[in-house]
Amino acid sequence: MPNTVDKALNLLRFLPRVCLANIRDNPGSRRGPRRGRAQHGGDKHGAGNKGSGQRQNYMRIGYETGNNPFYLRFPWEPYYKGHHLKRQYPPLSMLDLQKMIDLNRIDTSKPIDLVAILNTGLYKLFPDQHQFGVHLTDDGADIFDAKVNLEVQWANELVVAAVERAGGVITTAYYDPHSLQAMLNTKKFFERGIPIPRRMMPPPDAIEYYTDASKRGYLADPEKVSEERLVLSQKYGYKLPKIEDDPDYEMLTERKDPRQIFFGLDPGWVVNLRDKVILKPQEEELLKYYAS
């Protein structure tokens, strides 16, 4: 049976190396620019016949030949009021997260927080554009199969159910823009030589979300969260895995303090990367401030 692939590969053995001299574009893929001369390109020069098209004297944008135009009919439109000030959470699908885990871009033996997701380089965040963190979407929730300790900024019920069904733990936590800037480029932040700041509390319209156990908020009571875990397992119809019997229980329940930005580093510390030293405050006033 003549195998076309084998034939082609045999040919390839004897053909010369590909270089600019022996390749060309597919015919018709590139059309040269039309100059304003001769039959094609000349004559009316793409401006058509008469009218404002040829005479280049257009009416202003939005003008409706006399009647009250759409853009002037409504004195105000409250639908978009404050839209430029609202908090944004750029999405990350569960499918993407599963891919990152499968391709060893994220280490599941440690807690996964925003820093870990940013360090993969695949997820970008811009805090100066009112972006406040990761919104884990439910696209790929039915195939999610990794036992993780996840900390995101926004997650809906189906996502929480998918993570807990796989035997993991998910928490939603808030980070203020200054903390986010520090987390984005941690090395650059340490090189500034300033003490690690305290993480600020969520704004008033977000406090309800982050203190809610059903949303797995970081300020919610873990006992209530345990009850909600059962509720969700009953709603979505899966058997709740026993995390207390899991050998990774300690890793799965590891959490940051609400004022902490990085795991293992307290607010107030100065990290000196060059001398490989951490400087901690000793003054009582400072200690009191950073522990408040």
Partner 1 sequence: MNTLKSLGIPTYNAVYNSLFPNLLKRTVAYKSALSLNNLYPNSSLKLTTLSLPPKHGNEKFSGYIPIEELDITFSRSSGPGGQNVNKVNTKVDVRFHLQSAKWLSDEIKEKLSEKEGYLIYKSDLTRSQQLNLADCLEKIRSSVRECLIERAEPSPETTEKIRRKLERAAKERLLIKRQRSQLKNDRQAPQVVL
Residues binding partner 1 (CB under 8 A):
138, 141-142, 158, 161-162, 169, 198, 201, 219, 221-223, 225-227, 229-231, 233-244, 252-253, 255, 257-260, 266-267, 270, 276-283, 285-286, 290-292
For partner 1, the closer of residues 86 and 239 by Cβ is 239
- The phi, psi pair for 271, rounded to 5°, reads -100, 120
Whole-number minimum distance, CB 238 to partner 1, in Å? 6
Shortest reach from residue 118's CB to partner 1, in Å: 22
Structure token digits, residue 38: 């001769």
- Residue nearer to partner 1 on the CB measure, 75 or 247: 247
Asked if residue 161 lies in contact with residue 228, where contact means CB atoms within 8 angstroms, the answer is: no
Distances, alpha carbon 195 to alpha carbons 141, 192, 267, in Å: 39, 9, 7
Q: What is the CA radius of gyration of the chain?
A: 29
Nearest distance, CB of residue 117 and partner 1, angstroms: 22
Nearer Cβ to partner 1, position 125 or 162? Answer: 162
Pick the closer one to partner 1 by CB: 95 or 270: 270
How far is Cα 241 from Cα 236, in angstroms, rounded to an integer? 14
CA distances (Å), origin 186, targets 64, 150, 224, 253, 289: 54, 20, 34, 24, 23
Nearer residue to partner 1 within complex by CB, 118 or 169: 169
User: What are the φ and ψ backbone dihedral angles of 92, each rounded to 5 degrees?
Assistant: -135, 120
Question: Closest Cα to residue 278, out of 288, 267, 291?
Answer: 267
How far apart are CB 149 and partner 1 at their closest, in Å?
Answer: 10
CB of 242 to partner 1, least distance (A): 5
